[in-house]
Amino acid sequence: MAVELMTEGLTTEALTREEQGPPSGPFEVIVVGGGMVGITMACLLGRAGLSVVLLDAREAPLDRDAVGRGRPSMRVSALTPVSRQLLEGLGAWQGITARRVSPYRYMQVWDGEGSGEVNFSADQAGVPVLGHIVENDVTLAALEASLAELPTVKVQFGARVAGLETDGEKRAVVLEDGNWLQAPLVVAADGARSPLREMAGIAVSARDTGQVAVVTTVCTRLGHGGVARQVFLPTGPLAFLPLHVEGNDRHCSIVWSTTPAEAERLTAVLEEDLGRELGAAIEHRLGEVTVVDQALALPLTQRHAERYAGPGFALVGDAAHSIHPLAGQGVNLGLMDAAVLAEEVVEGRRRGLSPGDEHVLVRYARRRRGDNAAMLALMDGFRLLFGARHPALMLARNLGLSGVDRLGPLKRLLMQQATGHRGRLPASCRPLSRRDAG
């Protein structure tokens, strides 16, 4: 694995400083980034007994007692049953259900410009639920609690990494305050704009989707009935993700992907007007819509790192790939990266290999990059097909959606994708009762 190390930007003086800040090593792995993927990574390694330090730029952990109460947060993710199994094994799922979680058993996807519609149900997929909508903070709070139980994992908040260096067999990260830490493996889970990816000199292919996601929370006159709804409009897809709030099913989280100009307009209009537009856009399927939070605009860029690893260095989660949210796959793919990398590190260790060994990292990259690339390409295809105004493509997509609805095997395949059942799952993602099965 030929990898050029980037040595710009930091002086070796930073590495030879006397003052070494807390926490003190030695560590086998440094995880940079305490989002959902980074914490999962640290939990998996810590549960296998590795000594790990997790560094995050956030000033402090979440107030775990406050999360999941009152008005739902605007940032949510649809977690697949496979991600749930992973989180169950880490003891985090229990922390999620104790706060707030919204299962959905049905999915309804239709073409706002035509007649095509496809309906999925948990029964057809042979699973109890198709997935769960969970506020990102709820997942994070539950993971932070699981992490706090692990004696071999140290966590430092307010620790922004400013440099990445090589020190003999080890990689070293240098913090903004000049302190540094070293380990045989540095895992970058530092999000879509990943400063560490850049420091490692790993190129990324980025494609502006030409869309911006407007997110908010709404209350609807009719209950959602545990159905995740998505309509493809000419400007982009609009999702109503079902939330259960204090025993009622009349809240939804909105992800409206649209043109930048439309997003600017939608975030500036009065709440009543936005509610009216949302209600009309989903053809009044949930009755009157009332917006109960501010509307936030998030630019959508698809990125894919050209390599997932270098010497003593690996990328996971959004740092490796960021994907259009139309199929709700982003964090699910990231959690799978963490599960596979942890499995390879632990397996390598059993064979006497260091966590940063080339064989370990090559195996990780091989198992994950192709799968993620296929999902990114699929999202691109959907976006282009549904954005198309060419009559032939419009006909194709209507026939396509209706055809999918009629064709049992194709529908089952799509449902497997949606529920995360793709390829060989790492042991940590299998149901707890089947963890020993090969």
Ligand X SMILES: Cc1cc2nc3c(=O)[nH]c(=O)nc-3n(C[C@H](O)[C@H](O)[C@H](O)COP(=O)(O)OP(=O)(O)OC[C@H]3O[C@@H](n4cnc5c(N)ncnc54)[C@H](O)[C@@H]3O)c2cc1C
**Binding residue for ligand X (CB under 6 A) from 129, 145, 245, 298?**
298
Task: Give the shortest CB-212-to-ligand X separation in angstroms.
Answer: 9
Tokens standing for residue 389 = 């105004």
* Stretch near ligand X under the rule CB under 6 A, chosen from 147-155, 325-333, 343-351, 422-430: 325-333
Cβ-based neighbour number of residue 417 at 10 Å: 16
With 0-12 / 13-18 / 19 or more C-beta atoms within 10 angstroms meaning exposed / middle / buried, residue 24 is exposed
Is residue 81 a contact point for ligand X (CB under 6 A)? no
Site string for ligand X, 246-285 (x = CB under 6 A): ---------x------------------------------
Give the contacts of 34 (CB within 8 A, at least 6 positions apart): 42, 54, 55, 56, 58, 144, 155, 157, 189
Site string for ligand X, 132-171 (x = CB under 6 A): ----------------------------xx----------
- Bridge partners (DSSP) of residue 260 are none
Site string for ligand X, 8-47 (x = CB under 6 A): ------------------------xxxxxxx---------
Give the contacts of 143 (CB within 8 A, at least 6 positions apart): 36, 39, 40, 43, 87, 90, 92, 95
Q: Which is nearer to ligand X, 48 or 57 (CB)?
A: 57
Task: Give the shortest CB-135-to-ligand X separation in angstroms.
Answer: 11
Is residue 387 a contact point for ligand X (CB under 6 A)? no
- Nearest-angstrom CA–CA distance, 398 and 394: 6
- The residue whose two tokens read 């537009």 is 277
Count of residues interacting with ligand X (CB under 6 A): 32
Q: Which is nearer to ligand X, 57 or 269 (CB)?
A: 57
* Stretch near ligand X under the rule CB under 6 A, chosen from 50-58, 287-295, 351-359, 413-421: 50-58
Question: Are 95 and 142 a contacting pair, CB within 8 Å?
Answer: yes
- Bridge partners (DSSP) of residue 56 are none
Which value, to the nearest 10 degrees, does the dihedral of the CA atoms of residues 285, 290, 294, 297 take?
A: 20
Contacts of ligand X in 86-105 (CB under 6 A): none
Q: Which is nearer to ligand X, 164 or 404 (CB)?
A: 164
- Nearest-angstrom CA–CA distance, 242 and 250: 8
* Stretch near ligand X under the rule CB under 6 A, chosen from 13-21, 49-57, 142-150, 375-383: 49-57
Is residue 56 a contact point for ligand X (CB under 6 A)? yes
> Helices 81-89 and 92-99 sit at what angle, rounded to 10 degrees?
110
Which value, to the nearest 10 degrees, does the dihedral of the CA atoms of residues 235, 242, 141, 92 take?
A: -120
Q: Which is nearer to ligand X, 179 or 402 (CB)?
A: 179
Is residue 77 a contact point for ligand X (CB under 6 A)? yes
**Binding residue for ligand X (CB under 6 A) from 134, 153, 172, 331?**
331
Q: Which is nearer to ligand X, 118 or 161 (CB)?
A: 161
Question: Are 316 and 37 a contacting pair, CB within 8 Å?
Answer: yes
Is residue 378 a contact point for ligand X (CB under 6 A)? no
* Stretch near ligand X under the rule CB under 6 A, chosen from 16-24, 51-59, 148-156, 375-383: 51-59
Tokens standing for residue 265 = 């307009």
Task: Give the shortest CB-66-to-ligand X separation in angstroms.
Answer: 18
Site string for ligand X, 187-226 (x = CB under 6 A): --xxx---x-----------------x-x-----------
Q: Which is nearer to ligand X, 329 or 419 (CB)?
A: 329
- Nearest-angstrom CA–CA distance, 87 and 333: 14
- Nearest-angstrom CA–CA distance, 33 and 196: 10
Question: Are 320 and 189 a contacting pair, CB within 8 Å?
Answer: no
**Binding residue for ligand X (CB under 6 A) from 68, 310, 312, 330?**
330
Residues forming contacts to ligand X in the complex (CB under 6 A) are 32-38, 55-58, 77-78, 160-161, 189-191, 195, 213, 215, 255, 298, 317-318, 325, 328-332, 334
